[in-house]
Structure 1
Amino acid sequence: MSAAVRAEALKELLRKPFVWGIVAIVALLLLNVLKDPGYLALSINPANGNLVGNLIDILRAAAPILMIAVGMSLVIATGGIDLSVGSVMAVAGAVSMEFMKSAGDSGSVGVMLGAVGLALIVSAVLGAVNGVLVAYVGLQPFISTLILMLAGRGLAKVITSGQNTSASNDPFRWIANGYLIGVPVVFLLAAAIVVAVGLIVRRSALGLMIEAIGINPKASRMAGIKPRGLLLTVYISSGVLAGIAGVMSVGTVMTVDVSRTGYQLELDAILAVVIGGTSLAGGKFSIGGAAVGALLIATLDKTVLFLGVSSSATPAFKAIVIVVLCLLQSERVRGWFVQRRRSPRTPSAIPARSEEEVAA
């Protein structure tokens, strides 16, 4: 392969937004290594043979963000947005905790399955409410999901009577805190769901139809695509994935904090989707890019804690990282820097010589 071909391949790779997400993850990890050279070290817990270390903590923290980011990418691809995923997480956590508290059997797999199943059913219903308001009533996605964002936490408080509800169930706790082949179960589950969704939307016509709706709803309807059914499906999927994220979040401590569970995670999901290269205007989307964005958000959150950034400065620190990453993703910004670097050496910068000077 010639140097020119390799250079062109590198340029093409750098045009992919998720590549810069990977670069940012590596940069944050290196920043942590500068503070503690052993930051990336992994060890085996002699008591149970499981892997422990900062990377494992990042993977565990990334699992809920992965779920809502994948659902959000599907919704945004249709030209919509889902601001209710954080509230749906709180409702799912409240339902599961209340169910297990009333069941009272701390070791029953059946109770765990019942709690998870009920949480996902309720999440699907809430997602369907969003879908109906957007697809059939005709409300703007921002307004309809904002309504559920505000009402969802109220519903969670009604379910828990306004209290932080705790429960005890070992199989349920294992979902968030258990290990399989030395890796956190919660991350393996999230990765499996991401792969499954990616295969479904890319190995079938579903992904193309979702993109068609986002690019031009009228043209897609004339092409035989039924936008209403697809919109309803997408919002239900987002609700179910948010419900899974809620189960993962409350399973870590076996307590649902209605005010904190899923709080502002809808913003992290939107950031993850944008970092991954999905346009907020709708159309082309990337499940893999959303996954990279979710991992970046989790790495950034852990970096903030590890570096000891004060809580008051945390939003500013995160904003700076995100702004820098978005600038790196912009071809216009990169082209401007390249042009500034090359401008002194360009032939146009050399003054033309007169015919007398040439003859001399």
Structure 2
Amino acid sequence: MTAASGTSFWRALIHKPFFWGIVAIAALLVLNLIKDPAYLAVSVNPDNGHLVGNVIDILRQAAPIMMIAVGMSLVIATGGIDLSVGSLMAVAGAVSMEFLRGADGSFGAALTAIALTLLITGVLGAVNGLLVAYVGLQPFIATLVLMLAGRGLAKVVTGGQNTNASNDAFRWISNGFVLGLPVVFLLALLIVIAVGWVVRRSALGLMIEAIGINPKASRMAGIKPKGLLLTVYIISGVLAGIAGIMAVGSVMTVDVSRTGYQLELDAILAVVIGGASLAGGKFSLSGAFVGALLIATLDKTVLYLGVSSSATPAFKAIVIIVLCLLQSERVRGWFRARRTSTPSAPSAPVKEEVAA
């Protein structure tokens, strides 16, 4: 590789939506390594052969965030937003735990609980889509309504009480391992790849971005925005349901007040960190994937460094603001302009030699 091609490679890499997210993850891991040189150590549990370590914990914690971040990416690409995903996680947990509490511990009961949960969250996502696409409500207002009503619905399902259940197959989704890696992370990775393949290997991704750029022009081009808007909100609801199953499956208990609480904010941050535009018309599922890993790493770092709960939001805000500034083309252009406008040191005068 020549010097010119190497330079162009790094310039192209820097402009990738996920580059600075990876840099931030590396910086946080280095910060943890300074405190504990063995922070990244991964060992094998001699009892069951599973991998254990802080990195494995981060992967497990990132899985639910990945799910709602992927759904949020598609919604934001249309110029909308979905504030209800955290509440839909609580609904998913409430429905699954209530069903499993009265069912036997069989594999079939686990599949039925999953199917019922995803059906209900998909229907609730469709409600968001109908309000936005057909009624004409602003996405912020439409999803804010379900954000408030969703937890109320979860409390109705559970009678306002924390509900627990027992089902080994259902628990395996969050606590199981395949080839030493957490099933929950592998499942999230497969779903991200599948959604990414569908939206990028078909015209779906382009149509979603076209709606976000200019809904009127996309309609004139033959795209039906209402049907696509309904579709992306249903997808967001189903993925929020999967995230809720992942969240409650680890402890087999749903706390309707805490399950998914404020995770919609983490999903929006993951999407923005991944390089998506909140104005719509641009999204990156690989960027959202990296953003979710960053949020999980940041949460783990906050706990590991012993940052007080009162200072945690400020710590997260500082990291995210710095990252967004590094991503900004305007900020990078300002630094480039400053560098090029800095006058160089005057060179020493050259004495002319006069021929004798």
Give the TM-score normalised by structure 2.
0.96
Residue matched to 1:273: 271
Match of residue 325 from structure 1: 323
Q: Compute the RMSD of aligned alpha carbons.
A: 1.7
Following superposition, the deviation at residue 83 of structure 1 comes to 0.2
Cα distance in 2 for residues equivalent to 1:8 and 1:173: 48
2:52 counterpart of 1:49: no
CA distance in 2, matches of 1:335, 1:76: 26
2:114 maps to which residue? 116
Tell me whether 1:73 sits opposite 2:73 in the alignment: yes
Residue 130 of structure 2 is aligned with which of 132, 149, 171?
Answer: 132
Alignment-mate amino acid for residue 247 of structure 1: I
**Which residue identity does 1:116 align to in structure 2?**
I
Partners of 1:137 and 1:332 in 2: CA distance: 38
Deviation at 1:343, TM superposition (A): 3.7
Contact 2:17-2:284 within 8 A present in 1 as well: no
Q: Deviations over 1:11-70 (max 9, x none)?
A: 222122310000000110111010000000100000000100000000000000000000
Do residues 24 (structure 1) and 36 (structure 2) align?
no
Retained in 1: the 8 A contact 2:97–2:164? yes
Distance of 2:41 and 2:338 partners within structure 1: 41
What one-letter code is carried by the residue in structure 1 that aligns with 2:18? F
Does residue 209 of the first structure (1) align with residue 207 of the second (2)?
yes
1:125-155 deviation per Cα after TM superposition (whole angstroms, max 9, x unaligned): 1000000000100100000000000000000
Amino acid at match of 1:227: P
1:163-190 alpha-carbon deviations (Å, 9 max, x no partner): 0001111111111001011100000000
Deviations 1:92-118 (A, max 9, x none): 000000000111x23x00110111111
Q: Give the structure 2 partner of residue 243 of structure 1.
A: 241
Unmatched tracts of structure 1, length 5 or more: none
State the AA in 1 paired with 2:268: I
SS at match of 1:253: coil
Equivalent position amino acid for 1:295 in 2 = L
| TM-score, scaled relative to structure 1 | 0.95
**Quick one: percent identity of the two aligned structures?**
77
- Indicate whether 1:96 and 2:107 are aligned: no
Separation in structure 2 between the aligned mates of residue 344 and residue 213 of structure 1, nearest angstrom: 43
Counterpart position of 1:170: 168
Partner of 1:248: helix, strand, or coil?
A: helix
- 2:15 is matched with which residue? 15
- 1:185-264 matched pairs, under 5 angstroms: 185-264=183-262
Aligned residues: 352
The one-letter amino acid paired with 1:319 is A
Where in structure 2 are the equivalents of 1:135-174 lying within 5 Å? 135-174=133-172
Q: Give the Cα separation in 2 of the matches to 1:16 and 1:350.
A: 38
Superposed structure 1 runs of 4+ greater than 6 Å apart: none
The one-letter code of the counterpart of 1:43 is: S
Counterpart of 1:2 in structure 2: which amino acid?
A: T
Residue 59 (str. 1) matches residue 59 (str. 2): yes
Q: Which of 145-154 and 2-11 deviates more? A: 2-11
Unaligned runs of 5+ in 2: none
Contact 2:71 2:239 in 1 (8 A): yes
- Among 266, 289, 292, the alignment partner of 2:290 is 292
How many angstroms apart in 2 are the aligned matches of 1:197 and 1:321? 29
- Whole-Å Cα distance in 2 between the matches of residues 173 and 296 of structure 1? 26
How far did residue 342 of structure 1 move?
A: 4.6
Distance of 2:152 and 2:342 partners within structure 1:
62
